[in-house]
Amino acid sequence: MRSLFRLWLFAACFLLFGGVTGSAQAQYCPIEGLYGSVDRHYINFTIDTEKCSRNCTDMQYLNIIASGSTGIAVESMDINEQDPASKNVFEIKSDVNYGIDQGSSQQARIRFMPKRFGEYSATLIVTFGYQDPVIGAFRACVQEKFGAVVARSRTLIEEMEKRGPNLTEVERREALTKTKYEALLPKLANELGEAEKKVADLKIEKEQVLKELREGFYCDQCWHSKSQIEKPGKETFEQHVKRVGGKAVPAPDYKIEEKMTEFRHAISDAEDKVEELQKRKKQAEDNQQSEIVENSIARQTVIRRFSQQLAAEKAKKVLAQKRLGEMDAEADKRARQRNTITVELKGVYRAKK
């Protein structure tokens, strides 16, 4: 692009002065569309902003200096300001600003007025000011990098706050715990109550049978006491003794000992059952409490992690907003700074009749 510009500038020199030399210095914004012509004593040059780099925004003429050798006067037709320090140097002061509107052409017409015919050296220096062309790309990059982060974080934060922590699995486990122990604990309590009642009933029955065996309420044919015979509810002790042809007599000591041994075994088995059920019930209660605690911890963990994620996303958004503000401020600062391009055209002006 720089080489192309220099070729273009040389062409402008030929048009302006009949062609000797040309030079230009441009940083990021080559002056494309600079061309000129000679109309008798007038030098016309034009900036065609249609051809200027699109990145060069807000371009303005900052300074135009036209100078000639002794014996040549310079007159600006459009911009008329003479440098009092030299009769041969005419400067367009920077406070006379010609903004370049995109899509239009700006012209400056300089007239060299010779006092006599002949050849004169002449120099035309035009200084342009423009905003840094990378500002637009810089802003776009900032928006892409930080603005997008802010937007994504804002959307995610809104969704997270609306949705809340995901407690689906925790609530499922809590429901399972509740259902399981609501059925199990009453069942174990009922079984334990029945086992304890059986122990108590056996102890009462033992004392009752022992009394009957000793007091003569004992059938010498079937070897059972009165309460044992009447327990099924089918007949009385007297009816039974009469039916089997037996006698009601006190039981011998060895029979009493046999019955007491039977009761001791039955009571021991019943007490073992009670102890087993007590352990099972206690274990179930402990398990229930343990699961409740685990579920509570799981719930708190999910909520804590959600809060941490939400806080992290908010911090990310704040940081991105801060960086976005800093970068915007930097872009504004750069936008206030004006870079310059100076184009210098030298040649020989031939004053003819």
Strands 89-92 and 60-68: antiparallel
The per-residue pLDDT for 332 is: 77
The per-residue pLDDT for 342 is: 60
Whole-angstrom CA distances from 129 to 29, 95, 190, 335, 349 are: 10, 13, 97, 12, 28
pLDDT band of 182, cuts 50, 70, 90 = very high
pLDDT tens per residue across span 213-269: 888 888 888 878 888 888 887 888 888 888 888 888 888 888 889 889 999 999 999
Whole-number Å distance between alpha carbons of 34 and 46: 6
The per-residue pLDDT for 130 is: 58
The per-residue pLDDT for 83 is: 36
pLDDT tens per residue across span 153-172: 889 989 998 889 999 999 99
Whole-number Å distance between alpha carbons of 245 and 250: 16
Mean pLDDT of the chain: 69
Check: CB of residue 97 under 8 Å from CB of residue 60: yes
Domains of the chain: 2-132+337-351 (2.60.40), 158-216+251-332 (1.10.287)
Q: Which residue has the higher pLDDT, 348 or 283?
A: 283
The per-residue pLDDT for 283 is: 95
123 has a pLDDT exceeding 90 = no
pTM of the model: 0.49
Q: Which residue has the higher pLDDT, 346 or 11?
A: 346
- Supply φ then ψ for residue 246, to 5 degrees: -105, -170
pLDDT tens per residue across span 21-70: 233 333 333 444 444 444 444 444 444 444 444 444 444 444 455 444 43
Which DSSP string corresponds to 73-116? EEEESSS----TT-TTEEEE-TTS-EE--TTSEEEEEEEEEESS
Whole-number Å distance between alpha carbons of 165 and 95: 64
The per-residue pLDDT for 151 is: 86
Whole-number Å distance between alpha carbons of 104 and 108: 14
